[in-house]
Amino acid sequence: MALAIKKVGVIGSGQMGNGIAHVAALGGFDVVLNDIAADRIKSALATINGNLSRQVAKKTITEEQRKQALARISGAERLEGLADCDLVIETAVEKEDVKRKIFNELCSVLQPEAIIASNTSSISITRLAASTDRPERFIGIHFMNPVPRMELVELIRGIATDDATFETSKEFVAQLGKQVAVSEDFPAFIVNRILLPMINEAIYTLYEGVGNVEAIDAAMKLGAHHPMGPLELADFIGLDTCLSIMQVLHEGLADSKYRPCPLLVKYVEAGWLGRKTQRGFYDYRGDKPVPTR
Ligand SMILES: NC(=O)c1ccc[n+]([C@@H]2O[C@H](COP(=O)([O-])OP(=O)(O)OC[C@H]3O[C@@H](n4cnc5c(N)ncnc54)[C@H](O)[C@@H]3O)[C@@H](O)[C@H]2O)c1
């Protein structure tokens, strides 16, 4: 029932886009990487090369695999460059209007049988699917960050997603060597429904002065055996993405327990988005991260 996937398009060349392109190319797929900003495609290719080289140094892949994977990835500054892809994964910013605009343009160039997936962290797959010409061939394929290292991928069917699309996506994820968790289409799915309220609560803990940045992160690392503190993790995810997910949870579930912390809003308004802008709950511009509060 599954369809043959050979060529994969990736829209958005940020931290998730470069990771998805990396694992798809290593998995043997041809990859076309797109972004609205041409320089992001270039820097994504450089990041992928650096990360593949690190894998070669660690002997998890061979030099030959690195070369072959890189040769499979090309960049496209316009969506027309994705016209002959069998599967296109959208991983642009977590804003519904941006994603809808992309799908609208994509549908006009993409072959009708191709599958469209979104890597959204939280937005309704059914609603995104309804903005395309192919809701039955639309699905949520939600990778975790950092993509090359994390084992899990959530698969989310919209109300109209057909069995062939689901089975094809499942096989695609298996070919990347990752495990699938199936989630129903509810705001933020499984992982972020649980993880983001915890991060938001950590930010409230900081906001209310219960602890400072270092104390909160140390408490959860040493006291709950989390590999990263929640504020460190928020910086890693991106504070804009964290805020967007909390807003989707707050609006979608209409429960005040999901209210985004005002301090999170303030950091995003300042443009302090975490690691990607060098400043968030920590300042990353020096030799080692320094708390900003
Ligand atoms: N950061 C995480 O931990 C994480 C984990 C899983 C899923 N996601 C989801 O992945 C998506 C991307 O997140 P990210 O962390 O990579 O963000 P990012 O800010 O690193 O990258 C987003 C990229 O999208 C590009 N972009 C914006 N508008 C575009 C358009 N119209 N067309 C093409 N490209 C466009 C930007 O130029 C940027 O390069 C979001 O939907 C996010 O919720 C993020």
In the chain the domains, ranked by start, together with CATH numbers, are 7-184 (3.40.50.720), 192-291 (1.10.1040.10)
pLDDT at 2: 77
**CB 290, CB 283: distance < 8 Å:** yes
Taking residues 126-134, what's their average pLDDT? 97
Atom of ligand 1 nearest to the CA of 94: 41
pLDDT of 270 > 80? The answer is yes
**CB 154, CB 190: distance < 8 Å:** yes
Residues forming beta bridges with residue 32, ordered by sequence position: 9, 74
What sign results for the dihedral spanned by CA atoms 111, 115, 121, 126? positive
Token pair belonging to 54: 């690190």
Task: Select from 10, 13, 16, 245 the residue to mutate for testing ligand 1; criterion: most ligand atoms less than 8 Å from CB.
Answer: 16
From the list 101, 121, 98, the residue with the least C-alpha distance to 249 is: 121
Hey, which residues are catalytic here?
121, 142, 154, 192
Q: For the whole model, what pTM was predicted? A: 0.96
CA distance 75 to 24: 14
Q: Is 76 helix (H, G, I), strand (E, B) or coil?
A: strand
Taking residues 45-52, what's their average pLDDT? 97
Query: In sequence order, what are the residues at sequence separation of 6 or more whose Cβ sits closer than 8 angstroms to the Cβ of residue 223?
Result: none
pLDDT grade, residue 130 (50/70/90)?
A: very high
Name the residue at shortest CA distance from atom 30 of ligand 1: 36
Terminal CA-CA length for the chain: 54
**CB 274, CB 239: distance < 8 Å:** yes
pLDDT of 1 > 80? The answer is no
pLDDT at 261: 98
How high is the mean pLDDT of the chain? Answer: 97
pLDDT at 3: 79
Q: What is the pLDDT of residues 64-111, one digit of tens each?
A: 999 999 999 999 999 999 999 999 999 999 999 999 999 999 999 999
Binding site, annotated residues for NAD(+): 12-17, 35, 94, 99, 121, 145, 276
Q: Is the CB of 268 under 6 A from ligand 1?
A: no
User: Burial, 50: exposed, middle or buried (Cβ in 10 Å; 0-12, 13-18, 19+)?
Assistant: exposed
pLDDT at 165: 98
Q: Is the CB of 32 under 6 A from ligand 1?
A: no
Ligand 1: centre distance to CA 16 (Å): 6
Token pair belonging to 45: 């290719």
Taking residues 167-194, what's their average pLDDT? 98
Taking residues 260-283, what's their average pLDDT? 98
